[in-house]
Structure 1
Amino acid sequence: MKVKGMRWWIVCLLSGGLVINYLARNTLSVAAPTMMTQLDISTEQYSHIVIAWQMAYAFMQPVAGYVIDAIGTKMGLAIFALAWSAMCAAAALATGWQSLAFLRGLLGFTEAAGYPAGVKVVTEWFPAKERSVAIGWFNIGSSLGALLAPPLVVWSILNSGWQLAFIVVGVLGGLWTLLWIWLYKRPHQSSISDAERAYILEGQEAHFSDAVAEKANWKKTITKRNFFAVGLARVLSEPAWQTFNAWIPLFLMTERHMNIKEIAMFAWLPFLAADLGSVLGGYLSPIFHRYLKVSLFTSRKLVMLTGSLCMIGPACVGLVSSPYAAIALLCAGGFAHQMLSGALYSITSDSFGKNEVATATGLAGMFGFLGAALFTLVFGIMVTRIGYSPLFVVLAIFDIVAACVILTVAREATRPAASTIEPKGTSPEAAV
């Protein structure tokens, strides 16, 4: 039986895995106020726990990307997903900041495959002109996971304890892994219609659709001009999203004096806004391409610039006294950053071939999370001295500089692209 619009079902499945991935990492930030009290963890020690995850995630990303390119997306992602589910559940055994840092480090190692695998799947399953939209939809999994974490963790604390939240997320991850193994297939193995297969292949770039694809090579990848642009942009932009994920609940409690129930009510809103930014950013690229008469690659750059300018919102959080106004500005930040992030992933996807895109994504991710870890180290020390507001300003500046790097350094592939003209009788609507 041929399934209509199979590529969009694949995005839904992929996004579900990313939801679990982000639930696993965001459970800590929401549970942090309670855990810090019960386990006697200081703010600086909490920053060390976050850094342990970020450093492990950073150094494992290129390895995970290489593994995904080498053994394939299906089994590669399944192995990592099963491992991150087990490591998330194991956090329930933590008895202090050292053991928690160790377990979160192991979680970082295992979670590193999420984005390299996701970008590779989208690159395989979508024509170039739809890729930013697909990445936008798949990328909402990150925000949705962060959105679901506050009510799940608060419910667990009120009914049993913070340990339950980690166990629940671990079980959910195991169930999704089984679903992934059962359902995922590459386009040529899948029950896809002939019209959809033709639509995908006709719209892919020549460097991706070549029968003999270039094998992944770390040295060759890292010396490319576009990798330099993407890697530097990730170093500058990643600290913002990791700060949102790790520090918003503590910010609301310590700076805006919200209790745990108020955090459950409001801490998820910036991540809902991030979902909207992720999806809208995906659609903005083809809109800019069509109405501004620019190339798809240039349209990705314009989306990134738009997102970076919107980051001025959270930079103003120190200027408002109302906690609700502060949440609104953080919502603007979540919206802006995920718009920017999706465009950056689309640029990565456009720049590398099918057997190197996961490796490139992983390498760029490593640089990004090293930047995030360094910023978190500074953040954990400085937040008790100067407060959150100046640090939010720095994050906005970083994102704007990242967009400027992409605008000035990244270049469109010079190799001739495959035709993006729809095959006869096949429009996007027909293929869906």
Structure 2
Amino acid sequence: MRIPHLRWWIAALLFLSTAINYIDRQTLSVLAPVLTRELGLSPIAYSNILTAFLAAYTVMYVGSGFLVDRWGTRLSLSVFMVWWSVANMAHAFAQGVWSLGILRFLLGMGESGNFMAAFKAVSEWYPAKERALVNGLINGGAAIGAVIAPPVVTWINANYGWQPAFVITGSLGFVWLALWLLIYYPPDRHPRITEEERAYVLADPPVAGGAKMPWQEVLRYRQTWGLLLARFFSDPVWWFYLFWLPKYLVEQRGFTMAEMGMLAWMPYLAADAGALIGGWISGRLVARGFDPLRARMAVMLPFAMVMPLSLAVNHAPGRTTTLALICVIAFSHMAWKTNQATLTNDVFPKPMIGVVSGILAFGNGLGGTLFIWMTGYVVQYFGYEAIFVLMSVLHPLSYFIVRRMVRGPLAV
């Protein structure tokens, strides 16, 4: 049976895999106030647990890129999903800092592969004018997962305890896996794609060139370094709101666990909207004849200029203002990130996407690892103010780097 518009069913599965990815990683963040009390976690201990996740996540961002290129999108994403789902379920057996740290490390080893495989799928299935929108859907899945996690995890914790929360969220990946294995194949040999859609997908030409090259060769290009440094500086903002927001709202702004569960989803929903709208705007610009690189940069600039609002978050007079500011920041960051991620597809040849995405994402993981590790010490000894000051300048700096170093597609 032929399936019309098959590429959008695949986009839906990529959206869902990312949503599950974020539900699983966010479960610990939502439960952080509870685990802080029950397991005696200080801010530094909590940051060290997060750092274990991000260290593995960073290393495997590079390693998973190679695995995606070697195994293909279908098999690699299946393996990644099983790995991180089992690791998340095993959190139910954690007894303290060390066991949590080890389990977070194992979770991080699997979760980064989701994005490497998704980037590869985007290059295989979507023409240039649709890539930003699909990347927006993928990033939107991250935000939706973060939206779902606070109310669901707090409800499970309130009714059954924190251990079942990890088991239940971890089991979602196995439901998704059955659908993925049924639907996903490369477009040139997919048994259920219509001939019209196959011709449409395969008609889009490569960005440039097409020869594979080792990662050492990729590092010779200024485009690689420009995008890597931009991710190093800007992505830690998202890591902070993902891992520290529930803890910040409960311990610094006086929210109860129930209130946090009812309200902490709002910034993540705003991020979801930012991902979709940011990708849609640049996609429209490309459809109207803009060069893809110019279109992404035109969208990134205004959203980078919004990010200094971080300075006001810790001084907001009430809960409504605090959440409103964080929502605007989350919206702007994800609109920025969608276009930043799409630059990888616009600048580099298709056969290089897996390896290049892994190398560029190393900047994401390294920046996040250092920032989250530092956050624990800063919060414990100085409070949150210095963190918000630092986050206010990271996106403008990243835009300047991209503008200077990424001026056109890679010619090989």
Q: Structure 2 length normalisation: TM-score?
A: 0.96
* C-alpha distance after superposition, 1:249-281 (max 9, x if no partner): 011011110000100111110000000000001
2:212 aligned to 203, 211, 215, which one? 215
Residue identity opposite 2:58 in structure 1: A
1:233 aligned to 208, 230, 233, which one? 230
Give the match for residue 194 of structure 2: 193
The runs of at least 4 aligned residues of structure 1 exceeding 6 Å deviation read none
Mapping of residues 235-384 of structure 1, within 5 Å: 235-289=232-286, 294-384=290-380
Mapping of residues 43-58 of structure 1, within 5 Å: 43-58=43-58
* C-alpha distance after superposition, 1:275-316 (max 9, x if no partner): 00000010111334466x641111111222222112123332
Give the match for residue 204 of structure 2: 203
Shift of residue 151, structure 1, vs aligned partner: 1.1
* C-alpha distance after superposition, 1:125-153 (max 9, x if no partner): 11011110111112111111111111121
Q: Is the 8 A contact 2:347 2:410 kept in 1?
A: no
* C-alpha distance after superposition, 1:51-104 (max 9, x if no partner): 000011001111001100111010011111100000000011100011101100
Give the match for residue 169 of structure 2: 169
Q: Is the 8 A contact 2:187 2:201 kept in 1?
A: no
User: Using the alignment, how far apart are the partners of 1:155 and 1:144 within structure 2?
Assistant: 17
Q: Is the 8 A contact 2:207 2:347 kept in 1?
A: no
User: Using the alignment, how far apart are the partners of 2:182 and 2:130 within structure 1?
Assistant: 26
Residue identity opposite 1:106 in structure 2: L
Please give the secondary structure, in 2, of the residue aligned with 1:3.
coil
* C-alpha distance after superposition, 1:362-414 (max 9, x if no partner): 11112211111111121111123332233123112111111111112102226
Please give the secondary structure, in 1, of the residue aligned with 2:254.
coil
User: Using the alignment, how far apart are the partners of 1:301 and 1:387 within structure 2?
Assistant: 35
User: Using the alignment, how far apart are the partners of 2:394 and 2:151 within structure 1?
Assistant: 31
Shift of residue 198, structure 1, vs aligned partner: 2.5
Residue identity opposite 2:276 in structure 1: V
Give the match for residue 125 of structure 1: 125
CA RMSD of aligned residues (A): 1.6
* C-alpha distance after superposition, 1:149-194 (max 9, x if no partner): 1112111111111111110111111221222122211111222222
User: Using the alignment, how far apart are the partners of 1:76 and 1:123 within structure 2?
Assistant: 15
Give the match for residue 391 of structure 2: 395
Residue identity opposite 1:38 in structure 2: E
Give the match for residue 420 of structure 1: none
Q: Structure 1 length normalisation: TM-score?
A: 0.92
Please give the secondary structure, in 2, of the residue aligned with 1:356.
helix
Please give the secondary structure, in 1, of the residue aligned with 2:212.
coil
> In percent, how many aligned pairs have the same letter?
34
Please give the secondary structure, in 1, of the residue aligned with 2:255.
coil
User: Using the alignment, how far apart are the partners of 2:272 and 2:207 within structure 1?
Assistant: 32
Give the match for residue 95 of structure 2: 95
Please give the secondary structure, in 2, of the residue aligned with 1:311.
helix
Give the match for residue 421 of structure 1: none
Residue identity opposite 1:353 in structure 2: P
Please give the secondary structure, in 2, of the residue aligned with 1:101.
helix
User: Using the alignment, how far apart are the partners of 2:283 and 2:7 within structure 1?
Assistant: 18
Q: Is the 8 A contact 2:207 2:348 kept in 1?
A: no
Q: Is the 8 A contact 1:136 1:278 kept in 2?
A: yes
User: Using the alignment, how far apart are the partners of 2:393 and 2:410 within structure 1?
Assistant: 31
Please give the secondary structure, in 1, of the residue aligned with 2:281.
helix
User: Using the alignment, how far apart are the partners of 1:399 and 1:177 within structure 2?
Assistant: 36
Shift of residue 344, structure 1, vs aligned partner: 1.1
Q: Is the 8 A contact 2:83 2:110 kept in 1?
A: yes
User: Using the alignment, how far apart are the partners of 1:411 and 1:37 within structure 2?
Assistant: 50
User: Using the alignment, how far apart are the partners of 2:325 and 2:142 within structure 1?
Assistant: 20
Mapping of residues 52-201 of structure 1, within 5 Å: 52-190=52-190, 191-201=192-202
User: Using the alignment, how far apart are the partners of 1:283 and 1:233 within structure 2?
Assistant: 22
User: Using the alignment, how far apart are the partners of 1:396 and 1:100 within structure 2?
Assistant: 31
* C-alpha distance after superposition, 1:204-245 (max 9, x if no partner): 3353xx7xx422521122222211111001100111010010
User: Using the alignment, how far apart are the partners of 2:205 and 2:130 within structure 1?
Assistant: 10
Q: Is the 8 A contact 1:49 1:97 kept in 2?
A: yes
| Structure 2 unaligned blocks of 5 or more | none
| Structure 1 unaligned blocks of 5 or more | 417-432
